[in-house]
Structure 1
Amino acid sequence: MIESSSPDGEMLLAGYFVAVPESLNGSGLPRAARLTTASDCLMDRLPEEGRWFGTTLEALEACLSVLVPVGARLYALLVPADHVDGFVADMVASDTYEPVLLAHLDRRADGPVREVAAGGRVLGWEVLGYDIGLLHSWLCNNLYEDGVRQLGVATDDDRGLLSDREAAVRVATWANARGDTKPVTWFPAALVEWDTSIEGRTGPAATEVPVRRAAEPWRLRIF
């Protein structure tokens, strides 16, 4: 089990996913050369959008039958144990909940706590919220500029992640106290990356990482 670097408690594995970091460039957002996030709004997961896996083997085997872009990597999402309940409650209340995430995090079940696979490295922290089957990021909810100004937090220029748990907890607490974001329970989470290329079906694959433009504020989108 990967433990938090702070004394606040353990980290629980939510699940694994495969994705390709993208450049982020947009108004009201940080500039990130290789944005890395579990948010569906800012980063597409492979081999199909929104796919989560219970084990590293499942993730790697699922990619064997598809064309995998250069730069794709395996990631894990970790959630502090004391922030899991709000995340799970939102999943249970949704009609499109994620069975993989629930299987790992719902402590009402009798299954064992799953340990994170060896060999990964913690990249940093982000703040997420679950809504209608999607993970939203604080970065795409018009919170970034206010957070920098009011909380003094900052993301790194490479991944767009916060440096530590304390900063992520502050952002999540602050976002949950606001009334102008997506109606979600915001929670801090850490990302782990394995620096091993993902094998896919033989054939041409993307060689350039696309630039991700800022999405419209959630209030302006038509669902």
Structure 2
Amino acid sequence: MIEDLPSDVAVADGMLLAGYFVTAPERLAGSGLPRTARLVTASECLSDRLSQDGAWFATVREALAACLLFQLPAQARLYALLVPSEHAGGFVADIHAAGTDEPVLLAHLNGRGGGEPARKVAEHGHELGWEVLGYDYGLLHSWLCNDLYDDGVLSLGVGTNDHGLLPDREAAERVAAWANARGDTKPVTWFPGALIEWDTPIESRPGPATTGTEPSAPQPWWRRILQLQVY
């Protein structure tokens, strides 16, 4: 069970849970991007996420229950996005400015969610790293999808790990401040966020029985999810 996993992360005071999401690591390669076969991000621009009435879940229980309705790849995992409290205001302001429906994000970031404190959330997971995100009309953009990676490496000397994430909060704070000072990105308030992973398989809807015939090329997992969605 996910709730029984040990923790190897110490969450500093002042961190807020934004919400839970489910995704699988993606291959990332291209000009101006770090090369990795295991990208993990909260940005919808660079990864496909389980989505049912929005991509965010308020609790672990809600996320795992939703997974039972879909066929997920074996690599899919549960994640949480944690945001430093001093950066939550810009995130919330951009949600309000967009006028989009984000009940989970707004409830948690405004302190009205009644969910678990960030320190308690992380007790059962481990920190993968940090990224820099910005909210724009229903989408979370990443600094990686805004052509900032090469400039960030040259200007700030930052680097990313095997998951395409920054190593710590200090690096993410510097990238966020630098991105906010530029005029060539999406018109968002860039903020740092930490990703927590529960590295255990997720129970999901079983796939179709095999027939012994030669399998066809696998479809992208987001397409399988759309085909199997239960209304």
- TM-score calculated relative to the size of structure 1: 0.84
- Contact 1:125–1:168 (CA under 8 A) maintained in structure 2: yes
Question: In the alignment, residue 114 of structure 1 is paired with which amino acid?
Answer: E
Q: Do residues 77 (structure 1) and 76 (structure 2) align? A: no
Q: Which runs of 5+ in 2 are unaligned?
A: 1-8, 210-215, 221-231
The number of aligned residues is: 203
The aligned residue for residue 194 of structure 1 is 198
Correspondence 1:13 to 2:17: yes
Distance change >3 Å, CA 207–CA 59, structure 1 → 2: farther
User: More deviation in 200-209 or 115-124?
Assistant: 200-209
| Runs of 4+ off more than 4 Å | 47-50, 204-210
After the TM superposition, which of the residue ranges 55-64 and 94-103 deviates more from structure 2? 94-103
Tell whether the 8 Å contact from 1:34 to 1:159 is kept in structure 2 after alignment. Answer: yes
Deviation at 1:47, TM superposition (A): 4.2
| Structure 1 residues 15 and 132: alpha-carbon distance in aligned structure 2, compared to 1, 3 A threshold | same
The 3-state SS of whatever aligns with 2:79 is: strand
CA drift of 1:204 comes to 4.7
Deviations, residues 167-218 of structure 1 (Å, cap 9, x unaligned): 00000000000000000000000000001111111115999897xxxxxxxx
Pairing 1:106–2:110 present? yes
The residue identity in structure 1 corresponding to 2:129 is: G
CA-to-partner distance for each residue in 1:43-75, whole Å, 9 max, x for gaps?
111145951100000000001011111100000
What amino acid does structure 1 have at the position aligned with 2:198? W
Secondary structure of the equivalent of 2:179?
Answer: helix
The residue number in structure 1 matching 2:189 is 185
Give the aligned residue type for 1:106.
Answer: N
Equivalent residues in 2 for 1:92-171, closer than 5 Å: 92-107=96-111, 109=112, 112=114, 114-115=116-117, 116=121, 118-156=123-161, 158-171=162-175
For the residue of structure 2 that corresponds to 1:41, the secondary structure is coil
Please tell me whether the aligned partners of residues 122 and 196 of structure 2 are also in contact (alpha carbons under 8 angstroms): no
Label 1:49 to 1:128 Cα distance change in 2 as closer, same or farther (>3 A).
farther
Change in CA separation of 1:49 and 1:24 when aligned onto 2, cut-off 3 Å: farther
Letter of the 2:37 partner, please give it. Answer: A
**Counterparts of 1:95 and 1:12, CA distance in 2:** 22
State the 1:34 CA deviation: 0.3
Measured on the aligned residues, the alpha-carbon RMSD in Å equals: 2.3
- TM-aligned CA distance change 1:186 to 1:204, over 3 Å: farther
Cα distance in 2 between the residues matched to 1:69 and 1:37: 17
Equivalence map 1:200-211=2 (5 Å):
200-204=204-208
Aligned residue type for 1:144: Y
Contact 2:91/2:191 (8 A) holds in 1: yes
Q: Which is greater in Rg?
A: 2
Percent identity between matched residues is 67
Question: 1:106 deviation in Å?
Answer: 1.4
Shift of 1:118: 3.2
1:199–1:42 Cα change, 3 Å: same
Q: Is the 8 A contact 1:97 1:132 kept in 2?
A: no
In structure 1, what residue type is equivalent to 2:86?
Answer: D
CA drift at 1:117: 5.5
Q: What is the distance in 2 between the residues matched to 1:167 and 1:65? A: 38
